[in-house]
Amino acid sequence: MIKNKSTPSHKKIISTGVIVLKDEKKAVRLNSPPLYHYFLENYSKIGDDISVVTIIKRPKRSESQNNFYHLYLSLITLSSGHTMSELKAWVCSFILGQGIKEVFGETVRVTKSTADLNISEFCEMMNIVYDQTEIPIPNPAPFKLPLTQDEYGHLKLIQTEEYRQKNSKLKKTK
């Protein structure tokens, strides 16, 4: 069999590791250094070209959690009179704010995005929203399932009605 020179033959290994602090800089600590070194010794030569692909793995919030977050904000709009955009800006500024910086002579607020939150950070953020608004968090169980847009809309209507009933009870007790 004749190999085409434009199609290189290659060997590959997939190694996993963790980001660590080494000499005050971020570095990668491989989970299995012996396997990595075995691969280099047995399959590579000095001068070989290599490719390195780094993928950061972090348990991020799911699409269902995102839908749940938007449902909760829409319920807050019912009693607060604020729009979804205003509430999202409030969450980013008040809850996810990371300080104030000067950029090109202008003072700006640096915030974290809700999309960058991992699962536990997302839950903590939701609890802070509840503590600040005192608006009950809806039942999250249905949002753990994959939903179509229609199913999500129907579920939102149900949660909105439940919220209105709770909100009425809350106003009567105050």
Same domain, 97 and 42: no
Is a pLDDT exceeding 50 seen at residue 82?
Answer: yes
Same domain, 97 and 163: yes
Pair 131, 95: CB distance under 8 Å:
no
Angle between helices 149-173 and 63-80 (to 10 degrees): 40
- What per-residue confidence (pLDDT) applies to 169? 45
- Counted domains in the chain: 2
Q: What is the dihedral of CA 44, 45, 47, 52, to 10 degrees?
A: 10
Same domain, 68 and 136: yes
pLDDT tens figures, 105-129: 888 888 888 888 877 888 888 899 9
Q: Which domain holds residue 32?
A: 1-57
- The token duo for 7 is 């199609």
Is a pLDDT exceeding 50 seen at residue 42?
Answer: yes
- Mean pLDDT highest for which of 20-34, 52-66, 107-121? 20-34
In the predicted model, what is the mean pLDDT of residues 15-34? 89
Pair 14, 52: CB distance under 8 Å:
no
Pair 87, 80: CB distance under 8 Å:
yes
- What per-residue confidence (pLDDT) applies to 170? 43
Same domain, 137 and 84: yes
- The token duo for 172 is 């009567």
Give the domain-ending residue among 28, 57, 86: 57
Secondary element (H or E) of residue 25: strand 25-30
Confidence tier at 174 by pLDDT (50, 70, 90): very low
Euclidean distance between CA atoms 173 and 41, whole angstroms = 74
- What per-residue confidence (pLDDT) applies to 160? 74
- CB-based contacts of 51, cutoff 8 Å, min separation 6: none
- What per-residue confidence (pLDDT) applies to 5? 59
Residues in a beta bridge with 109:
100
Same domain, 29 and 84: no
pLDDT tens figures, 129-171: 988 888 888 777 766 666 677 877 787 777 777 766 655 444 4
Euclidean distance between CA atoms 56 and 163, whole angstroms = 38
